[in-house]
């Protein structure tokens, strides 16, 4: 699910459905704009004027982690890119908290 979660009407239900149909040992990969990042704050401020993000709901990493855990996922791995002040060569770092775009790998438990 890349750049999808911000457009889901019921994200909790979507994660429960993915968990239901995913076989063990299954993995879900999600790429999203972190609401708490510089990029996420910028998108949130401008979303009412954007035809692309007007209806988007941006989530923080901790919110997605909680939603995923409630749906039966664990063992999260994070990577981030679109780092502030970095050149546009899209360097990727482990973890989250700096990059505007975060990828989480979640395992079905």
Query: Could you read off the pLDDT of 58-105 as tens digits, one per residue?
Result: 999 999 999 999 999 999 999 999 888 776 667 888 999 989 999 999
Q: Per the structure, how many domains does the chain have?
A: 1
Q: Which range among 18-22, 47-51, 57-61 shows the weakest confidence by mean pLDDT?
A: 47-51
pLDDT in the model for residue 88: 67
Residue 19's domain is classified under what CATH number? Answer: 3.40.50.150
Full domain range(s) for residue 18: 5-108
Query: Could you read off the pLDDT of 29-45 as tens digits, one per residue?
Result: 999 999 999 999 999 99
pLDDT in the model for residue 53: 86
Secondary structure (DSSP) of the chain: -BS-GGG-S-HHHHHHHHHHHPPSS-EEEEEEEBTTSHHHHHHHHHGGG-TTTTT---B-HHHHHHHHHHTTEEEEEEEEE--TTS-TT---EESSSS-SEEEEEEEE-
pLDDT in the model for residue 7: 94
């Amino acid at each position: 699910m890349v750049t999808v979660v911000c457009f889901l009407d019921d994200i909790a239900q979507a994660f429960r459905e993915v968990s239901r149909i995913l076989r063990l040992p299954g993995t879900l990969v999600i790429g999203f704009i972190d609401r708490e990042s510089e990029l996420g704050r910028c998108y949130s401020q401008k979303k009412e004027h954007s035809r692309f993000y007007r209806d988007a709901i941006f989530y923080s990493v901790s919110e997605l982690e909680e939603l995923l855990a409630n749906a039966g996922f664990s063992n999260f791995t994070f990577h981030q890119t679109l780092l502030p002040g970095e050149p546009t060569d899209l360097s990727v770092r482990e973890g989250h908290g700096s990059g505007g775009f975060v990828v989480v790998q979640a395992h079905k438990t």
